[in-house]
């Protein structure tokens, strides 16, 4: 099932479904049935993906399991990361898949009680220009670094960022191309999202991860930070926590090769 990615559709949905009463009572009357929740996110390898119109990945399996327990229909859509975040922050979508926590996001979103995956954030360099990072940000001041728009890299990196030479792009593919062509010296990313793209760009052996980790980031589900979502989020948290405690998250992470907290 797919929908057109149009602002008209989003606006119509917000008008029809975005009332406080509907959100506070996700299990609606028997006549109307439960309201369909809109889940949005960007392509995250093995976490949130779409191929041939079908969604898959860790987040999709979790949400389908929880929604089934709650009797709550859901619909998945894929958007650029900045737009997906904006839609949830503005209440145009109900669940954001996979954001790491940051002070800015804590001001915009209500996060699930527990994370569902974790990533190692590292630098990638060219193999013909390797870089042995010592973990200090002073050693990066003569390096050109590319980041992904809207990603969080941790408090230490954020504190050092104003002293670094940083550019921003919108995709892992674009960042790896910039790195491979020598337009930047380092690409800051996570291993899970980057490794699958390297062979697609025929860059095996040409770009390599720097050994030291920038930070360990945990990914959550996030909801609009609005009182009318409190009931729905609490129901989700109770069901998800029980699912995690049962061992299902650990088994899912092992099957999909995704690190779990």
CATH of the domain at 197: 3.40.190.10
Are 130 and 202 in the same domain? yes
Are 15 and 88 in the same domain? yes
Residue 33 DSSP symbol: -
Boundaries of domain holding 34: 7-117+218-256
Are 223 and 207 in the same domain? no
Name the least confident of 48-57, 108-117, 169-178, 209-218.
209-218
Are 72 and 135 in the same domain? no
Please report the pLDDT score of residue 24 as a whole number.
38
Instruction: Find, among 78, 91, 86, 95, the residue nearest to 37 by Cα.
Output: 95
Is 2 inside any structural domain? no
Predicted confidence band of residue 131 (pLDDT cuts 50, 70, 90): confident
Are 109 and 231 in the same domain? yes
Predicted confidence band of residue 197 (pLDDT cuts 50, 70, 90): very high
- Computed over its alpha carbons, how large is the radius of gyration of the chain? 20
Token readout for 234 is 């609490």
pTM (2 decimals)? 0.75
Is 139 inside any structural domain? yes
Are 60 and 162 in the same domain? no
Please report the pLDDT score of residue 33 as a whole number.
63
Q: What is the pLDDT of residues 27-53, one digit of tens each?
A: 333 345 678 899 999 998 899 999 998
Are 42 and 157 in the same domain? no
| pLDDT mean over 165-170 | 93
Please report the pLDDT score of residue 87 as a whole number.
96
Is 1 inside any structural domain? no
Predicted confidence band of residue 116 (pLDDT cuts 50, 70, 90): very high
Is 134 inside any structural domain? yes
Instruction: Find, among 236, 209, 211, 212, the residue nearest to 222 by Cα.
Output: 236
Are 55 and 112 in the same domain? yes
Each as own residue / partner, the long-range contacts of residues 5-12 (CB below 8 Å, 24 or more positions apart, any chain) are: 5/77, 5/79, 10/87, 10/92
Is 14 inside any structural domain? yes
Is 181 inside any structural domain? yes
Are 85 and 106 in the same domain? yes
Are 91 and 157 in the same domain? no
Q: How many domains does the chain have?
A: 2
Are 199 and 232 in the same domain? no
Sign of CA dihedral 49, 73, 240, 149: positive
Is 261 inside any structural domain? no
Please report the pLDDT score of residue 59 as a whole number.
97
Q: CB neighbours of 153 closer than 8 A, spacing ≥ 6? A: 121, 147, 188, 214, 215, 217
Are 126 and 108 in the same domain? no
pLDDT for residue 168 is more than 80: yes
Is 247 inside any structural domain? yes
């Amino acid at each position: 099932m797919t929908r057109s990615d149009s602002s008209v559709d989003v606006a119509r949905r917000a008008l029809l479904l975005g009332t406080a009463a509907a959100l506070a009572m996700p299990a609606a009357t028997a006549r109307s049935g439960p309201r369909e929740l809109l889940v949005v996110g960007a392509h995250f390898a093995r976490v949130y993906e779409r191929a041939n119109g079908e969604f898959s990945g860790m987040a999709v399996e979790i949400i389908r399991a929880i929604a089934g327990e709650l009797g709550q229909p859901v619909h998945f859509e894929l958007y650029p990361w900045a737009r997906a975040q904006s839609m949830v922050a503005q209440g145009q979508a109900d669940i954001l898949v996979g954001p790491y926590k940051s002070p800015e996001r804590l001001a915009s979103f209500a996060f699930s009680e527990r994370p569902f995956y974790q990533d190692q954030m590292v630098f990638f360099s060219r193999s013909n220009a390797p870089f042995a990072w010592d973990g200090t940000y002073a050693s990066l001041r003569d390096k050109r670094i590319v980041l992904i728009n809207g990603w969080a890299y941790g408090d230490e990196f954020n504190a050092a960022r104003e002293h670094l030479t940083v550019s921003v792009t919108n995709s892992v593919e674009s960042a790896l191309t910039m790195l491979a062509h020598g337009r930047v010296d380092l690409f800051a990313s996570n291993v899970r999202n980057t490794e699958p793209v390297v062979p697609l760009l025929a860059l095996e052996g040409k770009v390599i991860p720097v050994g030291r980790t920038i930070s360990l980031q945990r990914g959550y589900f996030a909801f609009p930070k609005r009182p009318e979502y409190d009931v729905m989020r609490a129901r989700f948290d109770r069901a998800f926590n029980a699912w995690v405690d049962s061992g299902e998250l650990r088994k899912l992470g092992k099957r999909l090769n995704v690190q779990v907290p």
